Chain A
Amino acid sequence: MIAETLQDNAHIAALTSHLGEAVLDAADPFGEITISIAAEKIVDACRVLKSRGFNRISAVTAVDWQTREPRFEVIYHLHALPLSPQGGKHERLRLKAGVGSAFPEIDSATAVWAGADWYEREVFDMYGIVFRNHPNLTRILMPDNWEGYPLRKDFPIHGYKYSYAEEK
C-alpha cells in the first residue's frame, strides 16, 4: 500500500516501474519516507535509488520483532548529498526488508555502496543476519568466538554464561 501523500513521489514511481510488485509498502511518518521492499529485490532497489541521486548510505541496521514473521527487519537509511552548493537538495529515505527467522539471509548492499560494509557486519554480529556476497562477513564488535547474537530479543541482558540464580 502506497500512502496517499506519496502517490506522486518520483522515487517511489521509479521503484514501482523497475520492481513492480516488490514494492510492498510506502509511508511517511513524521515526514520520513519509508519504503518496504521484498527482501530478494533489495539490491535492485538500492541500485535504482543510487542512480536517482542517493549517493551515500547513512546506516544499515535491523530490528528484531520476535513474535512477528518475518521476524527481522533490515533497515537502510539512504541520503542524497549534494556535493556542491548548486547540486540539488538533501533527501533522506528509509528502506525496509523483512527477513524470516528460519534462514535470516539477505543480499549485501556493499556492491552498491562500499560504505555498507561495516554496518552489515554489525548487523550480522548483533542479529545473525547473513549478508550474501559480502566481502568479509565476520564479527566486528563482539569477540570472534562469541556465541549467540546479542541484540536479538531472546538474548538475555545479563547472566548469559554465569547465572547468579544457580549459585548455592
Chain B
Amino acid sequence: MSFKVIKPGFLSTIQDYGRLTHGAHGMNQSGVMDEHAYSWANYLLGNNFNDAVLEITFGNVELEALDDMVICVCGAELDFKVNTQAASNWRSIQIDKGDRLSWALPKHGIRAYLAVKGGFNTQVLFNSRSVNLRENIGSKLSELDILDCQSSCAQLEHFIAPQYIPNYNTDVILRLLPSYQYFEFSDAQRSLFFNQKYRIKNANDRTGCRLDGAPMTVKKEKMISEGMSYGSVEIATDGLPIILLKDAPTIGGYPKIGTVFSLDLAKLAQKQPNAAVKFKLMDIHQAQKERLRFNQFFEIALNS
C-alpha cells in the first residue's frame, strides 16, 4: 500500500507521537504539533495512538493513491479534495487506486493530518518515525517519493459529531502552569505578561513560537542551562516570550515564566502568523485532570 508524491508542499513531514526517551542524549522529541487533530485521525481509523501520519503545513500537497485505502484527514481545512471533489475532514474515507488527494491553501487552521489505516510505514529511527529536520533524521516530502503504509482494509465509516470539531478561528487563550522561574518574575513583569495580547511571529516553526508585543524589562545575564519541558515559555533577552515546541533543544539558559498546557499548544499549532494569543494561569491539578481524560479517551500509553 502506498502513495506517490506529486506535489510535496511547503512543509510536509511524517510524524508520530515523538521521540520521548532520548532527552539525556540531547535529542529533541519531535512529533506532531497538534496532538488533538492527530489523535482523532488515528482514533477514527482504529489505529494505535502512536501510528505515523503525514503532517501537512499550509498545504500545496498532491498525492496519488497507488492502492485502494482507508484514510482520514483531521485538523486544518486546507481545501482538501479527492480528485476534483471537495472532501471532508474528521471522518474516515475509502479511496481507490489512482485517486488524487490534494490540499491547496489554508482556509481554517494551518496543519492537516493525513492518517491511513495502520499508519505510515517509514523507517523507525531512535524509537520513532518522526522526521526531525534540525538533526537530519528523515526528510520532508519531495516529488516522486513513495510513501509506504501498512495494508489497509475496508471499514465502516467513522466520523466526529459536529459539536466536537474545533473552531480554529477563535482567539487562543493559552493556559499557563506556574512552573520554573515563575515566582522569580516580579509582579510588574507578570502583570505585563498576563494582561496583554501577544501576536504570533512565526507560526510555521516547529522549534518555537515567537511572540511579539510589549517587552518586559529583563536582567541580561543568562542562567545555568537546565532541561526544558514541552511548552515552557522562555523570556529571551529582548523581553519577549518564546514558547518551546516539539523541535526545541533539550536544555537552555533563559528564564522561563511557566509552561503552557499541552492541549492548548494543540490549538496554538493551528494559528496563522499575526494571530493574537493571551495567557491565563492554570492549576496543575486541573491540567492533569484534563490531560488524563484525553489520554484515557485516546488510549495513549506512553510508557508501556
A and B assemble together: no
Q: Which positions in B face A, CB cutoff 8 Å? A: none
